[in-house]
């Protein structure tokens, strides 16, 4: 059994914020000085820096035990992972928007999130008045096997993260 | 939502329902009711109502059937999306492999009045095995379960025969190159190698 925790974190702004939050929760993550490094290693944790859209895939397959990703990207990925903590940062909302004053039926929708769009628009028939589809924020996600087999490391981390990110 | 352990959305969904405080906190706790068998005691404290306690007693009685429960974990927040399950469901995991190797449960009434079963992910199982490049050949093939346990505990690789027909199993083992056959009568050498004295000692000690 490997005691080292493997985390998948997305490149960019969310990476620094995630590392700070994990540190507050008692998990020391040291990023190497090389900005382009794709893995950062210490005795207790190994960080894989991935594209935002790949975090959930790494976690679902168990390449990483846990990760941090926005709820919008997570919904779009439709991956089967646990999402025990809402970290309450990187908040945004997913809305259905149209030209001001438009009132005809909606025939076509442009979206970077085709799966999510389909899910929501199929659920509701009459969406003209509904603007916000959902609110999104960063989530701490966990592989389904790792949560059970590495509970000794993950359970305390989850409860610390929940306390810290309560608004 | 409970199956994904999404505590945030669960709270959002429960809030407008106007539930009694104790009921709401019991529901909110379900995603976190996973771990060793101590979870059952936690659940009793959170849901001290007769219907819940009867179900927990039943679950505990089923789990008591395990001869060795040291690697048993429970998750009261696990839901399977297949609607034919009617009772306990289960999955099997191994260390450092992120996908379940096996999954199943109870599905009374689907095919038979009382039914249970599981599926094994053969491809996952092969991927989870170490040294998968080597051809894997067991040390012993067995037709009997209880005497095999001592050998397994001592690290001997014992494969359970899929058939109860000794002739068929002997032919299978010889074709595969498994050197020894274990039956209720003892160990039999199938090839040139004599039965190791060590195996006989283990069998003697555990009988």
Q: How confident is the model at residue B159 (pLDDT cuts 50, 70, 90)?
A: very high
Which of A109-113, A158-162, B99-103, B148-152 is the least confident region?
Answer: A109-113
Q: How confident is the model at residue A159 (pLDDT cuts 50, 70, 90)?
A: very high
Whether residues B5 and A86 touch (CB distance < 8 A) is answered with no
B99 interaction partners in chain A (CB closer than 8 Å): 61-62, 145
Mean pLDDT score of chain B, rounded to an integer?
91
Q: Which whole number is the average pLDDT over A36-51?
A: 86
d(CA B43, CA B34): 10
Say if residue A118's pLDDT is above 90. Answer: no
Return the pLDDT at A129: 47
ipTM of the complex: 0.79
In chain A, the percentage of residues whose pLDDT exceeds 70 is 93
Residue range B21-73, pLDDT digits in tens: 999 999 999 999 999 999 999 999 999 999 999 999 999 999 999 988 889 99
Q: Which whole number is the average pLDDT over A16-33?
A: 89
Instruction: Specify the pairing of strand B116-120 against strand B186-189.
Output: unpaired
Select the more confidently predicted residue: B149 or A107. B149
> B134: how many CB neighbours lie within 10 A of its CB?
8
Q: Which of A51, A74, A94, A95 is nearest to A138 (CA)?
A: A74
Return the pLDDT at A167: 58
Q: How confident is the model at residue B135 (pLDDT cuts 50, 70, 90)?
A: low
d(CA B199, CA B188): 11
pTM metric for this prediction: 0.74
Return the pLDDT at B23: 95
Is the Cβ of B75 closer than 8 Å to some Cβ of chain A? yes
Helix (H, G, I), strand (E, B) or coil at A47: strand
> B55: how many CB neighbours lie within 10 A of its CB?
14
Nearest CB among A86, A144, A149 relative to B8 is that of: A86
Residue range A122-147, pLDDT digits in tens: 765 555 545 687 889 999 999 999 99
Q: Which whole number is the average pLDDT over B78-107?
A: 88
Return the pLDDT at B191: 86
Say if residue A102's pLDDT is above 90. Answer: no
Return the pLDDT at A109: 85
How many interface pairs between A and B have CB atoms less than 8 angstroms apart? Answer: 50
Q: For residue B142, list its beta bridge partners.
A: B160, B182
A91-130 residues touching B, CB cutoff 8 A: none
Nearest CB among A1, A86, A148 relative to B75 is that of: A148
The Cα of B98 is separated from the nearest Cα of chain A by a number of Å equal to 4
Q: Which residue in chain B has the smallest CA separation from A58? A: B98
Q: How confident is the model at residue A1 (pLDDT cuts 50, 70, 90)?
A: low
The Cα of A1 is separated from the nearest Cα of chain B by a number of Å equal to 6
Q: Which whole number is the average pLDDT over B124-143?
A: 82
Q: Which whole number is the average pLDDT over B65-92?
A: 88
Say if residue B96's pLDDT is above 90. Answer: no
């Amino acid at each position: 059994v490997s005691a080292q925790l493997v985390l998948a974190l997305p490149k960019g702004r969310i990476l620094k914020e995630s590392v700070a939050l994990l540190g507050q929760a008692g998990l020391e993550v040291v990023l190497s000085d090389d900005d382009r490094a794709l893995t950062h290693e210490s005795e207790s944790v190994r960080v894989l820096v991935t594209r935002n859209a790949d975090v959930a895939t790494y976690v679902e397959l168990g390449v990483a035990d846990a990760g941090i990703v926005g709820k919008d990207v997570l919904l779009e990925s439709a991956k089967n992972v646990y999402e025990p903590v809402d970290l309450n940062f990187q908040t945004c909302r997913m809305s259905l928007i149209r030209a001001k004053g438009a009132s005809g039926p909606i025939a076509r929708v442009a979206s970077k999130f085709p799966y999510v769009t389909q899910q929501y628009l199929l659920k509701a028939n009459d969406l003209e008045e509904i603007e916000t589809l959902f609110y999104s924020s960063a989530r701490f996600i966990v592989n389904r096997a790792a949560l059970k087999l590495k509970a000794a490391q993950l359970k305390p981390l989850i409860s610390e993260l929940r306390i810290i990110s309560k608004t | 939502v409970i199956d994904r352990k999404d505590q945030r959305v669960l709270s959002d969904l429960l809030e407008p329902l106007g539930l009694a405080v104790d009921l709401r906190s019991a529901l909110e706790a379900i995603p976190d009711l996973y771990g060793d068998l101590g979870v059952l005691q936690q659940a009793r404290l959170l849901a001290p109502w007769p219907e819940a306690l009867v179900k927990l007693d039943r679950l505990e009685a089923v789990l008591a059937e395990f001869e060795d429960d040291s690697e048993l974990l429970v998750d009261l927040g696990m839901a399977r999306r297949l609607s034919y399950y009617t009772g306990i469901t289960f999955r099997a995991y191994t260390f450092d492999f992120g996908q379940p190797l096996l999954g199943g449960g109870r599905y009374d009434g689907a095919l038979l009045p009382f039914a249970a079963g599981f599926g094994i992910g053969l491809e996952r199982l092969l991927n989870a095995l170490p040294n998968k490049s080597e051809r894997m050949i067991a040390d012993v093939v067995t037709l009997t379960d209880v005497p095999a346990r001592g050998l397994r505990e001592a690290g001997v690789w014992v494969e359970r025969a899929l058939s109860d027909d000794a002739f068929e199993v002997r032919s299978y083992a010889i074709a595969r190159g498994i050197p020894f056959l274990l039956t209720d009568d003892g160990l039999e050498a199938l090839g040139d190698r004599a039965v190791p004295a060590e195996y006989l000692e283990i069998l003697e000690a555990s009988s």
